[in-house]
Amino acid sequence: QVQLVESGGGLVQAGGSLRLSCAASGRTSSRYIMGWFRQAPGKEREFVAAVTWSGGSTYHADSVKGRFTISRDNAQNTVYLQMNRLQPEDTAVYYCAAGTPLRVNDNRQYTYWGRGTQVTVSS
């Protein structure tokens, strides 16, 4: 089992920044890809970014490219999502996920999930 705990969400004005953290514990594996997804009220969960745990390759959704950056600290078993130039449409619950997906943007292919952290961007 892998436990994932997100933190760092909050309320921020448009144009501001937040950094989300995802602390992993338990049977973590260098095979796991770590992903961030988000879900706004009434909408489906959507891919935000992903990073390979050992290789350092990163993937970002087109909607966040140039504004969000995913990174990881293997020594701390933590994955980060730096979010800059936030906009009201970024408002959602942000979830951390771990697994071995064939497609990194497919939430159905991730095995472990955190409980999420709320990000609210005011205009």
Instruction: Give pLDDT, residue 29.
Output: 76
Tokens of residue 30, six digits:
């260098």
**What tens digit of pLDDT does each residue of 21-53 get?**
999 998 877 789 999 999 999 999 999 999 997
Q: Check: CB of residue 30 under 8 Å from CB of residue 37.
A: no
**56 vs 23, more confident:** 23
Q: CA–CA distance from 94 to each of 27, 41, 67, 73 (Å)?
A: 22, 12, 16, 19
Whether 69 shows a pLDDT value over 70: the answer reads: yes
Instruction: Give pLDDT, residue 55.
Output: 63
Instruction: Give pLDDT, residue 54.
Output: 73
Instruction: Give pLDDT, residue 115.
Output: 98
Q: Which residues contact 108 (CB under 8 A, 6 or more apart)?
A: none
Instruction: Give pLDDT, residue 19.
Output: 98
What is the chain's mean pLDDT, rounded? Answer: 95
